[in-house]
Amino acid sequence: MDSGKAAANRPLSPHLQIYRPMLSMIMSIVHRITGAALYFGTALIVIWLVSAAAGPSAFAAVQSIYGSFLGQLVLFGYTWALVHHAIGGIRHLIWDVGRGFGPERELLYRLSLGGSIVLTIVIWIVGYALKGAAG
């Protein structure tokens, strides 16, 4: 049998356009993206700490950037990535002990997504409340 003819008879691999996006697929991708975001977001914390050690003018410059609308938006996203990735880690821990693979799997995905959004908003509300109380 000719090798070219054998290759022509093999089925093609399905393409991504064929798959219907499922919550499990999306959450897996988001978990990886939030992990990468945490890697780069940690640089923001390092910059903030180094500026605090460098002196009042450096700290004020970084605070003005982080306090801007865009800076606050980035920090909000970083907070969500941190919370979402942590909750995803708890979900993986549940799987590591052999639980959560049945029908409750979909519930775990939904709880981790909703929980990360709610917890992020609560963290920011508490942060602004404490900021107002301190000033």
> Binding site for heme: what residues are annotated?
85
Binding residues: 85
Element of type H or E holding 46: helix 23-54
Residues 17 and 96: their CA atoms lie apart, in Å, by 31
Distance of CA 60 to the CA centre of its chain: 28
